[in-house]
Amino acid sequence: MIKALRGMKDILDPKFLKIFDTAREVAENYGYEYIETPILEETALFKRSVGEASDIVNKEMYQFMDKGGNDVCLRPEGTAGVVRSFIEHKFDRQQSPKRFWYFGPMFRYERPQKGRFREFHQFGIESFGTSSIYEDINIISMAADIFERLGIDYTLKINSLGCPECMPKYRDNLVEFLNKHKENLCEDCQRRIEQNPIRTLDCKNENCQAILKDAPKITDNLCESCQSDFETLKKGLDNLGIKYEVDKNLVRGLDYYTKTTFEFVSNEIGAQSAIAGGGRYDRLVEFLGGKPTPGVGFAIGIERIMDLVKEDKKRSGIYMGALIEEAIPYIQKHARGVRKEQKVFVEPNVKSLKAHLKAADKGNYKTALIVGEDELKKGDFFIKEL
Ligand code: HAM
């Protein structure tokens, strides 16, 4: 028997669509437009944006040569493609803000476990053209609204990674610290000292964690402007009643971030607890060849929140069933009219009254309309509220 690939699964849960509808409605209420970008892109796009040294690019890409000899890759995340599209359509030259939402599959060749898949779905948003810290607050508020509407409890963690003014100085300090402890760090962290020292801060290795507890933190070394923005961010979240924790080790797994980074985590879903992540990427558009344009966004992991969404137990819609075959065309005709207003299911097989009512109950319908010989003669229905 042929089975789905490891780490990939069929979606059979109606909560998936409920999440889609909720996220879409909230994004549209915030003034965002829909964008759909290709699932396959040039590998170079992800190498340049997510970062050559990141785990995603280094270890997890579904990368191959296509029949035309192009080096391509199934997208591991959504931001890179949206930025590529933003530049390709010359929105960077218009110098006016542009805001997009998207929903679709992403692919990472990770070791599958609970909450971690090789194909998973993200709802994401990207806001271009505004460097105001109040936009960061706007988008965090949007994510919080989506979770609140879905009845999901979360902890929000925030941090700032600084800007080209404060980051390089901090980086030098950190590298100095790491070199002093190099021998006691894990292999990955030793490699990171050269390639991406900031990523050592969220290493899961216990030994590294113990050493890095004393490492300098970027949040304590921000320049005046980054520091002031970070204070405004905290005040802005307080103002909206959105609770947060400052996590000085929150550095995220993608290289394009500057300034604000954040993650929403849930303590109800096990080790893979991040249900959304995002931040500011003011240099990415320029880095990918566009005119310098600030950007900020986030993505929610749909599979991670599926189990957290409460099931909709409310009955809805109408079940129509026939006791004799001649009644089927009669109910089909009525159903077409009623469907303009609400959900109607027509059972295509003749059944007994008891069997129809049982099926209507199982299908969670609100009302059953049954037609037998008498009802057909009178042009009537037997109605049962369930
Ligand atoms: P990310 O943190 O890599 O950020 O992914 C966002 C969310 O996708 C995670 O918080 C998690 O819920 C979910 N996720 C990631 N990997 C997996 C996996 N293997 N299986 C299941 N769920 C997963 C990004 O992708 C950025 N593009 C977010 C962003 C948008 N930043 C700015 N704009």
How does the average pLDDT of the chain come out, rounded?
95
Find how far residue 379's CA is from the centre of its chain: 51
Residue 235: exposure state from Cβ atoms within 10 A (0-12, 13-18, ≥19): exposed
**Cβ atoms < 10 Å from Cβ of 258:** 21
Domains of the chain, first to last: 15-166+222-308 (3.30.930.10), 318-385 (3.40.50.800)
Answer yes or no: is pLDDT of 334 > 90: yes
Prediction pTM value: 0.93
CB 187: neighbour CB atoms within 10 A? Answer: 8
The pLDDT score that the predictor gives to residue 95 is: 81
Nearest CA owner, ligand 1 atom 25: 77
Least confidently predicted of 33-37, 187-191, 206-210, 311-315: 311-315
Q: How sure is the predictor about 195, in pLDDT bands with cuts at 50, 70 and 90?
A: confident
Least confident of 160-164, 312-316, 358-362: 312-316
Under the banding of pLDDT at 50, 70 and 90, the label for residue 271 is: confident
Tokens in use for 229? Answer: 């923005």
Residue nearest ligand 1's atom 32 by CA: 297
pLDDT at 38: 98
Lowest-confidence segment of 53-67, 72-86, 120-134 by average pLDDT = 53-67
> What is the C-alpha to C-alpha distance for residues 350 and 93, in angstroms, rounded to an integer?
64
At 310, is the pLDDT very low, low, confident or very high (cuts 50, 70, 90)? confident
* pLDDT score for 35: 98
Q: Residue 272: pLDDT above 90?
A: no
Residues 6+ apart with CB under 8 A from 367: 317, 318, 319, 360, 383, 384, 385, 386
Rounded Cα–Cα distance for residues 359 and 214 (Å):
64
Residues of the chain above pLDDT 90, percent? 90
Question: What pLDDT shows up at residue 37?
Answer: 98
Distance 79 CA to ligand 1 centre (A): 10
Atom 14, ligand 1: residue with shortest CA distance: 301
Q: What is the rounded average pLDDT of the residues 331-340?
A: 95
Residue 347 C-beta-side C-alpha neighbours within 13 Å: 26
Q: How far is CA 188 from the centre of its chain?
A: 27
Using the mean position of ligand 1's atoms as its centre, give its distance from the Cα of residue 306 in Å. 15
Burial of residue 379 (number of CB atoms within 10 Å: 0-12, 13-18, 19+): exposed
C-beta atoms surrounding 115 within 10 Å: 20
Identify the pLDDT of residue 71. 98
Rounded to the nearest angstrom, the distance between the alpha carbon of 54 and the centre of ligand 1 is 14
Q: Which pLDDT tens digit goes with each residue over 90-125?
A: 999 998 899 999 999 999 999 999 999 999 999 999
Residue of the nearest CA to atom 4 in ligand 1? 277
pLDDT at 326: 97
How many angstroms does the Cα of residue 301 sit away from the middle of ligand 1?
A: 6
* Residue 258 scores a pLDDT above 90: yes
Cα–ligand 1 centroid distance for 44 (angstroms):
20
Mean pLDDT within 65-83: 98
Dist. CA 369 → ligand 1 center (Å): 46
Task: Report the nearest atom of ligand 1 relative to the CA of 76.
Answer: 25
Pocket test for ligand 1, best of 120, 161, 257 (most atoms within 8 A of CB): 120
